[in-house]
Amino acid sequence: MTQVIRLTTLFCACAALALTVVAGPEPLPSGKEMKQVAPAPPECDFTWTGFYIGGNFGYGWANADTDVEPFSTNPVLPFTDAVPVNLQPDPSGFIGGGQIGFNWQWNKWLVLGIESDFQGSDIEGHDRSNPIFNTAGVAPFPDSFEEAHERMQWFGSTRGRIGISPWCRVLLYATGGVAYGSVDYSASLNFGPTPPRTFAYPVDFTETQVGWTVGGGFEYAIGHHWTVKAEYLYYDLGDADRTQNQLINGVPQGPPFFVNYNFETSGNIVRGGFNFKF
């Protein structure tokens, strides 16, 4: 009986050893089993695609260089009482209004759009030079002066927009297109009260100018419908030109003496705004 127990124990030990050899050693833990898979970032819950309407407000400063050029149509009687000058009214002021547009977001990050805006303006400036010097470098009329004034009444544009959305709810964009505005222009070359008559060359007119604009901005969505933005625009509405003959005591005279005025109309706008996306 004792011999049987010994043989049984020896057989079980040998069987266990055989199974160990066949199965091979148990692999050591690699550490990968302990790693947890990081959760995927959530999909962006906002899209820039859609129509929108909003408002804007900001500040503008302009370049309104005005060339004052006296001339005579008669070479025998040259205009010697004044020389050409350049006046710089340098308009500046506040601007505010509204905009409407449409965006289309493609491939999650590219955004294309079109926008039209219209706003009232208080961009205004004035420059005055006194006295007037003649071609000999002398100022014989101490009360004489040259002045120029420019004021933008309203401003609008229709622009394309192209941007990227590098992060959810963030849009960086460039923009450019057609710009237009109503501008008041006035200027005068005035020799002052020279008794018994006053000699002057005044112009005063309003014109709707059409040109171009380019700029860029940043927009951020604060909800599923509301966004806020900051934007810069450079605009160029071209030049306005007028020629005025001599007025004596307010009465127009004939040739040969005239003054030509050339007004430049370009500038910069920095503004903030908000939009409601439908």
The residue type of 49 is T
| Neighbouring-strand partners of residue 113 | 103, 161
Pairing of strands 145-164, 85-87: unpaired
- CA 244, CA 237: separation in Å to the nearest integer? 22
Q: Model-level pTM? A: 0.81
Euclidean distance between CA atoms 181 and 151, whole angstroms: 10
271 vs 44, more confident: 271
The per-residue pLDDT for range 181-228, each reduced to its tens digit, is: 999 999 999 998 776 778 999 999 999 999 999 999 999 999 999 999
Is residue 238 within 8 A of residue 209, CB to CB? The reply is yes
Mean pLDDT, range 153-157, rounded to an integer? 98
HEC string of 209-259 equals EEEEEEEEEEEEECCCCEEEEEEEEEEEEEEEEEEEECEECCEECCCCEEE
Contact by Cβ (8 Å): 131, 82: no
Q: Return the beta strands (E) in the chain as ranges.
A: 50-63, 66-72, 85-87, 92-106, 110-129, 145-164, 170-194, 197-221, 226-245, 247-248, 251-252, 257-277
The residue extents of the domains of the chain are: 52-277
Q: Yes or no: say if 155 and 193 are a contact pair by the CB < 8 Å rule.
A: no
| Residue 7: per-residue pLDDT | 32
Question: What pLDDT, on the 0 to 100 scale, is given for residue 42?
Answer: 67
pLDDT at 8: 35
Give dist(CA 63, CA 90) in Å, integer: 6
Q: What is the mean pLDDT of the chain?
A: 88
H-helix or E-strand containing 22? helix 2-23
Reply yes or no on whether the pLDDT at 180 is more than 80.
yes
Structure tokens at 24: 């091979």
Residue 1 pLDDT: 39
| Residue 175 to residue 181: CA distance in whole angstroms | 18
pLDDT in the model for residue 5 = 36
Count other Cβ atoms within 10 Å, centred on residue 242.
16
Please check whether residue 245 is in contact with residue 228, taking contact to mean a CB–CB distance below 8 angstroms: no
17 token code pair: 């050893």
Q: Are 242 and 35 in contact (CB under 8 A)?
A: no
